[in-house]
Amino acid sequence: MVHGAGNLLDWGFIMKIRIGIEISIISVKARLLMISVFALFFTLSSRSQNVFTVDTLSTLVDGLYSPYNQVEPGDTIFLEAGMRRLIRIRNLTGAPGKPVVIINKNGKVVFDSDYTYGISILNCRYIRVTGSGDPDHFYGIVINQVTNGTGIGISGMSSDYEIDHLSISYCKSVGIFAKTDPDCGFLSTRDKFIQFNTIIHDNYVSHTGTEAMYIGSTQYFGQKITCNGVDTLLMPSLLDGVKVYNNKIDSCGWDGIQVTSASKNCRIYNNEILNYSLAESYGQMSGIIIGGGSKCDCYNNLISQGKGMGIESFGLGGQKIYNNIILDAGKNFFPADTNRQVHGIFVTDITTQADSSLYIFNNDIINPMSDGIRFQSTITRGNIVASNLIVNPGNFDHYENEKKGHRGKDSYVMLTSANTEIALMNNFFTRSLDSAKISESNYIPRPGSPLINSGWPGSTGINFDFLGNLRPIGKACEIGALEFDPATVGLTIQQADKAYGSTIFPNPVKGLTTISYHFSRAGRTTILIYDLQGHIVFKKEEEYLADSYSKIQFDASRLENGLYLYLIKKGVESLSGKLMKIN
């Protein structure tokens, strides 16, 4: 259905969304943190091991020097709680399943740095830096500010590391920097070094000058470096095994999460990214970038109130983008200037492998500045965009009234080339959130929503929704990021499938057509048919018997050709659909 556009969301509304989503999981997270803390200390205490403590005045932990040259796989290095300026962690090596754990002790470890970093990690492998050492503090390692650089930097051929439960704020540049650039030593080039198992989760990053998270090299095709007076093209390392999840990002200058050169086993999921790209730096404006050389599944992320794209994909292809909620992408970035384009999801060919495929399923894209999805890839094949809810793309009026060769409907999924090979399946496009009948507090479909049981059945392998609930709950999956659970309104799945069903046949219609419908409860029913201006062209009332199907015939022969909407109301319950009149 298509209705008038409106400014649907504001910051207070976003807070309701966050509360509605987070309040149901915050107690679970607290319990999981408590369990992980106890499990960690049980592991540490169940065997003979070395334990080291770093006082607040120490700034170097180096495995080449005493006492840290005695650190073995599975050992623990405690950071004593209190204020610090910075710390450098060097040359530590654990083993698979036995990382060297660096963890806070007796409260929060707090950094306040006037240097180029708060925490620097070089040449380490199989390590974990975690702020989960005190169950009273979810973020037990806190970087309050770094006035001249990066919150935490992990480089120098570091690999197989986990960074979690850190709070990082007010950094001049990047919050978390995780990559190794090649140099004239030629040891960290692509043929000699791979960055394995980069795991970054349960962190809070806010108020960064540039990216909140910068993971992997952006120079996938190589970078020129002068070595011994000769310009040399060096290929940076690839990343294999990237997991970025459960992080919260607020108020970054550039991109929220940028993952590049991650060619294998990459996932970006369950992150919350708010107020991104505030510096309005062109080319650095996205909630999430699946960058050059990457093949990352990207799912279950909340991306809201940024000035840039929601999700950009110009990686290798072959990935899925699904179950994301993208709100107001670019809405506050020169909203009246149609020459500046910001889209909910943007796909283009930069490092795309020929004949690979992209799958964009079950996303909610609401109020993007320009297009809902802009798909510029021409060398991918077999692409599928299915079961997405796209509401009120900003380019609708521009295409309808000003842009030659386009129609308003093109703004939902804009295909910029006739050579694009793509299938659009079971998406729901509308200019009004009301017509989707979803909750304004958490975006879950309400009873009678046209999204329910309407998703594309071919999106196999996606067996959960944005909140991690089973997908599908009913006879088919829903359109959009969230499933409707009939138990929340006192119905069984079978009742829900019956209670809110309607069909119309034939459709399109020349003369007589039959509308069939079914409710679970008896009562007086009103059938209304409207034109697109909202004028009633047909109305009938009748009694409805419980748990039975009812039919009504309608003669459309006197109507003008075009699209009409029907509404069937019984008390607070309703059904709706479309009728197309033709000659």
Residue-level pLDDT at 546: 58
Query: Positive or negative CA dihedral for 74, 80, 83, 89?
Result: negative
SS (H, E, C) 302-363: EEECCCCEEEEECCCCCCEEECCEEECCCCCCCCCCCCCCCCCEEECCCCCCCCCCCEEECC
391 SS3 class = strand
Residue-level pLDDT at 501: 60
* pLDDT one digit per residue (tens) for the chain, 583 residues: 333 333 333 434 444 444 444 444 444 444 445 545 444 544 444 445 789 999 999 999 999 999 999 999 999 999 999 999 999 999 999 999 999 999 999 999 999 999 999 999 999 999 999 999 988 888 999 999 999 999 999 999 999 999 999 999 999 999 999 999 999 999 999 999 999 999 999 999 999 999 999 999 999 999 999 999 999 999 999 999 999 999 999 999 999 999 999 999 999 999 999 999 999 998 899 999 999 999 999 999 999 999 999 999 999 999 999 999 999 999 889 877 888 899 999 999 999 998 899 999 999 999 999 999 999 999 999 999 999 999 999 999 999 888 778 899 999 999 999 999 999 999 999 999 889 998 877 788 988 899 999 999 887 678 999 988 889 888 889 999 999 877 665 555 554 444 446 667 777 788 898 887 777 667 788 888 877 666 788 998 887 665 556 788 889 998 988 778 777 877 656 676 777 787 7
The model's pLDDT over 380-393, given as tens digits with 9 standing for 90+, comes to 999 999 999 999 99
Residue-level pLDDT at 532: 62
Cβ count near 41 (within 10 Å): 13
Strand partners, 515: 504, 552
Residue-level pLDDT at 564: 80
Residue-level pLDDT at 251: 97
Residue 389 — φ and ψ, nearest 5°?
-100, 120
Residue-wise burial string across 337-370, b where 16 or more C-beta atoms lie within 10 A, e elsewhere: ebeebbbbbbbeeebbeeebbbbbbbbbbbbbbb
Residue-level pLDDT at 544: 66
Residue 21 — φ and ψ, nearest 5°?
-80, -40
Residue-level pLDDT at 551: 81
- List the Cα angle 210/213/214 in 5-degree steps: 80
What domains does the chain contain, in order, with CATH numbers?
1-29+324-492 (no CATH), 500-581 (2.60.40.2550)
517 SS3 class = strand
